[in-house]
Amino acid sequence: MDGIKKKMIAMKLEKQNALERAVQYEAQLKEKETEKETKESGIADLNNKLKQAQIECDEIQESLQESLNKMEETDKRATNAEGEVAAMTRRIRLIEEDLEGSSSRLTETLGKLEEASKAAEESEQGRKELELRSIADDERLSQLEDQLKEAKYIAEDADRKYDEAARKLAIAEVDFERAESRLEAAESKTV
**pLDDT value of residue 30:** 92
- What span, in angstroms and rounded, lies between the C-alpha atoms of 74 and 45? 43
For residue range 100-116, list pLDDT tens digits in order.
Answer: 666 655 576 667 778 87
pLDDT at 95: 75
User: Is pLDDT at 93 greater than 70 in this prediction?
Assistant: yes
DSSP states of 85-108? HHHHHHHHHHHHHHHHH-STTHHH
Q: Give 27: exposed, middle or buried? Use CB within 10 Å, 0-12, 13-18, 19+.
A: exposed
**Whole-angstrom distance, CA of residue 87 vs CA of residue 5:** 119
How confident is residue 31, by pLDDT bands cut at 50, 70 and 90? very high
d(C-alpha 55, C-alpha 149), whole Å: 14
pLDDT of residue 78: 83
DSSP-derived secondary structure for 2-23: HHHHHHHHHHHHHHHHHHHHHH
Least confident among 36-40, 65-69, 106-110:
106-110
Q: What does the pLDDT look like over 181-190, one tens digit per residue?
A: 888 888 888 7
Q: Is the pLDDT of residue 4 over 60?
A: yes
Query: Tell me, what's the pLDDT at 157?
Result: 59
Asked if pLDDT for residue 51 goes beyond 80, the answer is yes
Percentage of residues in the chain with pLDDT exceeding 90?
A: 11
